[in-house]
Amino acid sequence: MEHKNSLKVAITGTNGFVGKNVGKVLVKKEISVVGIVRKGKGSSINFGDVVISEDLSENYLTSKLHGCTAFLHFIGRGKQTVDSDYQKVNVGITKNAIKLCKKAKIKKIIYISGLGVSEDTTFGYFISKFQAEQEIINSGLDYTIFRASYIIGKDDSLSNLLFKQMKKGTMMVPGSGRYRLQPIFVGDVAEVVSQSITQKKFSNKIIDLVGPTMITFNDYIRDFLQGRKTPIKNINLEDAYRAALNNPKTDFGIDDLNILVGDYVGNHKKLKSISGIEFKTHKAVLKTSGFS
């Protein structure tokens, strides 16, 4: 396929929420996209080229990725299972991503870490994200690491969960609901990522990927409901953690609770000034993302 824009990028986790949305925006900008997906998952991608990989270690990937300007690494997990733990996925596959970039001579890696990740982190998910960040920072590759709050848009996981609760008739708020989040629109994430592929001002930086409004979870749910009268119930935090510990299918897993209760907010001003974007508010996103 001939592209007016000679840029080509690789995206891992292309089936995921962020990968899919970023991929579509880049293709619209006439950037060639090579989407890397696990076996059997390629069919849901209707843009760019698709390459199959289980863990980014396969030798045949090198030639397929030749000529890529950047490697957008969006594989990640926020819940552990015995077969798929944080070390294996968040750290191990990131190490493989770095090796692959070097073999394929890709100079730039872009990674989405979590808002609140730091050297002082004490829980598993954030520890794995911190370690993945360190692998990238020490790799010698040019990097941009984004520490993201909740990324929202059509089909995001938080909204899907809240929508499910709404349909069931009660919104369940773990604990007080007074902890804050800073949701960011996935379309704006795609724009920022797109800029970071080539713009030097994003080089070797860690940047908070946070929206324009710091909002408590309680207020976010109120805005999500958009006037609907669905009752809101605060669940005792001990009960919420007990459910997370004993039931893998519970709405809020252990690390979902850790991230919520952690009250993580970041520096939107810096993101705005580096990108120059007018960011969508969560209210505008909720209005247009089809949750009604």
Q: Cα(156)–Cα(158) distance, rounded to whole angstroms?
A: 6
In terms of CB distance, is 16 or 266 closer to ligand NAP?
Answer: 16
In terms of CB distance, is 84 or 138 closer to ligand NAP?
Answer: 84
In terms of CB distance, is 93 or 286 closer to ligand NAP?
Answer: 93
In terms of CB distance, is 78 or 187 closer to ligand NAP?
Answer: 78
Q: Cα(224)–Cα(221) distance, rounded to whole angstroms?
A: 5
In terms of CB distance, is 76 or 177 closer to ligand NAP?
Answer: 76
Least Å from the CB of residue 14 to ligand NAP:
6
Q: Cα(131)–Cα(235) distance, rounded to whole angstroms?
A: 33
Q: Cα(134)–Cα(139) distance, rounded to whole angstroms?
A: 8
Least Å from the CB of residue 66 to ligand NAP:
22
Least Å from the CB of residue 12 to ligand NAP:
7
Give burial (CB, 10 Å; 0-12/13-18/19+) of 58: middle
Least Å from the CB of residue 236 to ligand NAP:
26
Taking residue 273's Cβ as centre, other Cβ atoms within 10 Å add up to: 10
Least Å from the CB of residue 6 to ligand NAP:
27
- If DSSP codes are grouped into helix, strand and coil, which group holds residue 275? helix
Q: Cα(137)–Cα(232) distance, rounded to whole angstroms?
A: 43
Q: Cα(104)–Cα(67) distance, rounded to whole angstroms?
A: 8
Residues that bind ligand NAP (CB under 6 A): 13, 15-19, 37-38, 41, 55, 74-78, 84, 89, 93, 112, 114, 148, 150-151
